[in-house]
């Protein structure tokens, strides 16, 4: 074995021994516990740099994955042969301000056999939401947000020299492929800079609207405008941990900040990126929302997939923008992308256990 390889393995071993790999069995209160003798899993922690040379034809995504529940969905994700997996938050449900415990939860997922199988053949990107950020509904005033970002970056194998590591917040973008069939994935951070919300004392909604508050922060807004305005892709995928279009429910959403939602929709309409689609999570169900924006030459879709290990209790909820059904079953989302020249055709599929197809909405740009 070459000296450089030996050095790399030795360095990896040193890092991993500092943060033991935890057992796979579910434990109470979702807190991983170390065994007496942990086995070093070098394969699970081998860095996986993102390769953007080829545009994916199958992208899978999901959110809301409790490590205290069976990790049975991964084998069905794998059955779709996705080239890219996008996390939209609540990856592990750590709910802790102890960064060692947070890192341990991520490590536990990373050593789950079927997740390892998926990661071995599929590139992984994404962002946290509140339960892996560290606290339910947490926002910009969360004291451990820098540590939460670092834990996420480590979990996603973001290189130490990456610009994503250097700026505040966990937002990122990747442009895959070349020529007219290029795909850009833009991942927003809706926690790190988001202003607080006030509880609704009437209990009609969880929170009162914050008319003056911010969602993304000044630097991220500037970055987002640049990413949209200068995109060279013919399919742009904008990722948000919370829903953008659905605005009738009383839970977390862009609509809790009405002026920010208006600003985001205006920005999309003004910059006119080619064929933009929104992906979102958080809601413990799946649905597709659709809106016609003035000035945008195509309809705007928001595809929500949430609840890989658990789902909401209510089976009905009004959404004036919904296309098709609300799927209240454990699920993950799949985008199957084909091309007619430079025009993408995207099948939005909601799938579940046994890879069952619950719903498909085909978008032809």
Residue of 73, 182, 90, 86 whose CA lies nearest to 136: 90
46 pLDDT above the threshold of 50: yes
Largest CA-CA distance found in the chain, in angstroms, rounded: 67
- The pTM assigned to this predicted structure is 0.89
What is the mean pLDDT of the segment spanning 77-103? 97
State mean pLDDT over 10-31.
39
**Which CATH number is 43-364's, of 3.40.80.10, 3.60.21.70, 3.40.50.300, 3.30.70.940?**
3.60.21.70
Task: Please report, in angstroms and rounded to a whole number, the separation of the first and last CA atoms in the chain.
Answer: 51
pLDDT score for 23: 31
Looking at per-residue confidence, does 240 or 25 come out higher? 240
pLDDT higher than threshold 60 for residue 35? no
Q: Is the pLDDT of residue 340 over 80?
A: yes
Q: How far apart are CA 86 and CA 59, in angstroms?
A: 8
Instruction: Spell out the long-range contacts of 206-209 with Cβ–Cβ below 8 A and sequence spacing 24 or more.
Output: 206/250, 206/251, 206/252, 207/250, 207/252, 207/256, 209/255, 209/256, 209/257, 209/258
Sign of CA dihedral 337, 298, 170, 165: positive
Q: Residues 121-137, buried b or exposed e (16+ Cβ, 10 A)? A: ebbbbbbbbbbbbbbeb
Residue 318 has pLDDT above 70, yes or no: yes
Report pLDDT for 40. 61
Q: Residue 106: pLDDT above 50?
A: yes
Task: Decide: 144 and 97 in contact? Cβ < 8 Å.
Answer: yes
223-262 burial string, b = 16+ CB within 10 Å, else e? Answer: bbeebbeebebbbbbbbbbbbbbbbebebbbbbbbeebbe
Residue 17 pLDDT exceeds 80: no
User: What are the tens digits of pLDDT across the range 137-147?
Assistant: 999 999 999 99
Sort strands 276-280 and 286-291 into parallel, antiparallel or unpaired: unpaired
What's the mean per-residue pLDDT of the chain?
Answer: 90
What confidence score (pLDDT) does residue 20 get?
37
Q: For position 39, what pLDDT does the model report?
A: 54
Q: What is the pLDDT of residue 29?
A: 42
Residue 188 structure tokens: 């927003």
């Amino acid at each position: 074995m070459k000296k450089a390889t030996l050095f790399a393995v030795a360095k990896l071993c040193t890092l991993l021994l500092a943060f033991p790999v935890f057992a796979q069995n579910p434990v109470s209160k979702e807190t991983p516990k170390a065994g007496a003798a942990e086995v070093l899993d070098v394969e699970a922690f081998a860095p996986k740099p993102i390769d953007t040379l080829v545009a994916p034809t199958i992208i899978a995504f999901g959110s809301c994955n409790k490590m205290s529940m069976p990790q049975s969905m991964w084998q069905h994700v794998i059955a779709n042969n996705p080239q890219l997996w996008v996390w939209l938050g609540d990856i592990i449900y750590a709910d802790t301000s102890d960064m060692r415990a947070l890192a341990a939860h991520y490590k536990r997922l990373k050593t789950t056999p079927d997740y390892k199988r998926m990661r071995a053949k599929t590139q992984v990107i994404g962002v946290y939401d509140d339960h892996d950020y560290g606290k339910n509904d947490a926002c910009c005033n969360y004291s451990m947000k820098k540590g939460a970002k670092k834990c996420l970056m480590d979990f996603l194998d973001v290189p130490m020299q990456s610009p994503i590591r250097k700026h505040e917040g966990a937002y990122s973008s990747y442009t895959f492929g070349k020529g007219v069939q290029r795909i850009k994935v833009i991942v927003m951070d809706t926690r790190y800079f988001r202003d607080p919300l006030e509880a609704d004392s009437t209990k009609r909604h969880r929170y009162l609207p914050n008319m003056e508050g911010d969602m993304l922060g000044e630097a991220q807004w500037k970055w987002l405008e640049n990413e949209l305005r200068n995109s060279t892709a013919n399919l742009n995928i904008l990722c948000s941990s919370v829903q953008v279009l659905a605005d009738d429910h009383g839970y977390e959403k862009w609509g809790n900040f009405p002026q920010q939602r208006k600003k985001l929709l205006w920005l999309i309409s003004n910059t006119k990126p080619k064929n933009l689609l929104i992906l979102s999570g958080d809601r413990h169900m799946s649905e597709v929302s659709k809106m016609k924006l003035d000035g945008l030459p195509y309809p705007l879709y928001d595809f929500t997939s949430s609840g890989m290990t658990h789902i909401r209790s209510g089976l009905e909820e009004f959404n004036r923008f919904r296309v098709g059904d609300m799927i209240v079953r454990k699920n993950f989302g799949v985008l199957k992308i084909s091309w007619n020249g430079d025009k993408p055709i995207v099948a939005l599929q909601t799938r579940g256990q046994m890879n069952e197809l619950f719903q498909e909405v085909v978008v032809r740009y």
